[in-house]
Amino acid sequence: MPKEVKYWTSVAKRIAILVIAIILTIVCFKLAIFYMPFLIAFAISLLMEPLIKKIMKKFKFSRRVSSIIVFIITFGIIIGLLAWGITTLISESSNLLSDLNGYYSKAYAGIQSILNNLDFNKLNISNDILDIIKSSSFSFLEKISNYIQNFLTNILSIITSIPTIAIYFVVTILALYFICTDKIYMLDELEYHLPEKWMKELTKHIREIARVLGGYLKAQLTLILISFVISLIGLYILYFVGMNVGFPLITAIGIAFVDALPILGSGTIMVPWGILSGLNGDLKLGISIIVLWIIMSVVRQFIEPKIVSRKYRNTSNIYGCSNVYRF
């Protein structure tokens, strides 16, 4: 076969693989509503697996008994967290929606006061540019307000759709139970129905993916969860001592979300929040928020190398370098 034919055949194969991968990705996203409960159950079962094996080894129980014990404990924790989380989210989202216009008015007045107090004559800024700055600032504020309003409305609509949530929850719990108790049986059935060569290749690739991607995701999720828990506890402490922290759970979720983004970190929210609180006269809250951010940063810097090196040894250096510029 001529070299040109081989070259174009290779290119065609790669393009075909790329197209198929894109189509499969789109299909997976479209069908996520159907397989998401099973994916969540599988992820939880991976977290439960070490505890199941530990109980089996220590108490000499069978896998089914050990799985049922861990399942009951996990089920109780999930129910408790869901009940608290849903009621708190509904309460905080409703209160924030009702108070959103008031916060918008305060922010609008604050921006207007800052712009009025600035001496633009010393900066040699023309009136046209000044008008553009003012309109852009108010437009940006309005867009943020609309985004928050739509986001909170969507959260409330999702949470209050009880039948859908109930079906998802029941399917997830059932899938979690059967995955934990019948894991060995499922693997045996898979080995029986698939060719031996396929099973070897499939096992090899699954283990490699679990080692590389699973370790990275576990490390990331652990760090995000730690940031969320520390910020939630800290914000609730500030809330209970009477400081102006109105929505601890929603704020902690927002901090954890930003902390999960590349380059950005919890300081992207907490440092401006602390500075603005101090400038608005609430110096105690501003200092408390900055102190809480420092505690979160110190804890993260202390435990991150240990978590990453334990759960993702082969790429700990790469991962560590990727977080050098986090704020």
81 exposed, middle or buried (CB, 10 Å; 0-12, 13-18, 19+)? exposed
Amino acid found at 52 = I
Q: Is 156 contained in some domain?
A: no
What is the C-alpha separation between 77 and 44, in angstroms, rounded?
12
What is the C-alpha separation between 75 and 78, in angstroms, rounded?
5
Q: Is 276 contained in some domain?
A: yes
pLDDT value of position 149: 76
Q: Token pair of 221, please?
A: 């999720």
pLDDT value of position 320: 41
Residue with tokens 């995000």: 224
Residue with tokens 């997976």: 28
Domain range spanning residue 2? 1-30
What is the C-alpha separation between 320 and 309, in angstroms, rounded?
10
Q: Is 201 contained in some domain?
A: yes
pLDDT value of position 321: 42
pLDDT value of position 141: 72
23 exposed, middle or buried (CB, 10 Å; 0-12, 13-18, 19+)? exposed
Q: Is 233 contained in some domain?
A: yes
Q: Is 159 contained in some domain?
A: no
What is the C-alpha separation between 97 and 120, in angstroms, rounded?
36
pLDDT value of position 294: 93
Each of the 327 residues of the chain gets a pLDDT tens digit; together they read 566 667 777 778 788 878 887 887 787 777 777 778 888 888 788 778 888 889 988 888 888 888 889 989 988 988 888 888 888 888 888 888 787 777 777 777 766 776 666 665 666 666 677 677 767 777 777 787 777 778 777 777 766 666 777 788 888 888 888 888 887 777 777 667 777 777 677 777 767 766 666 667 677 788 888 889 999 999 999 999 988 888 899 899 989 888 887 777 888 889 888 888 887 788 899 899 999 999 998 988 888 787 767 655 544 443 344 444 455
Residue with tokens 């009940």: 83
What residues contact residue 318 under an 8 Å CB cut-off, 6+ apart? none
pTM: 0.65
- Contacts by 263-271 with C-beta closer than 8 Å and gap 24+? 263/325, 263/326, 263/327, 264/326, 264/327, 265/297, 265/326, 265/327, 266/227, 266/231, 266/293, 266/296, 266/297, 267/293, 267/297, 267/327, 268/327, 270/231, 270/296, 271/327
What is the C-alpha separation between 181 and 191, in angstroms, rounded?
18
* Structural domains counted in the chain: 2
Give alpha helix (H) positions in the chain.
3-30, 32-59, 63-117, 127-159, 162-181, 183-193, 196-209, 215-240, 248-260, 267-279, 283-311, 316-322
Residue with tokens 């609180």: 277
CA 137 to chain centre: 29
| Sign of the torsion formed by the C-alpha atoms of 298, 300, 301 and 302 | positive
Q: Is 45 contained in some domain?
A: no
pLDDT value of position 3: 64
Q: Is 288 contained in some domain?
A: yes
What is the C-alpha separation between 274 and 292, in angstroms, rounded?
10
pLDDT value of position 178: 87
pLDDT value of position 212: 65
Amino acid found at 153 = T
Q: Is 18 contained in some domain?
A: yes
What is the C-alpha separation between 57 and 51, in angstroms, rounded?
10
Q: Token pair of 265, please?
A: 């970190």
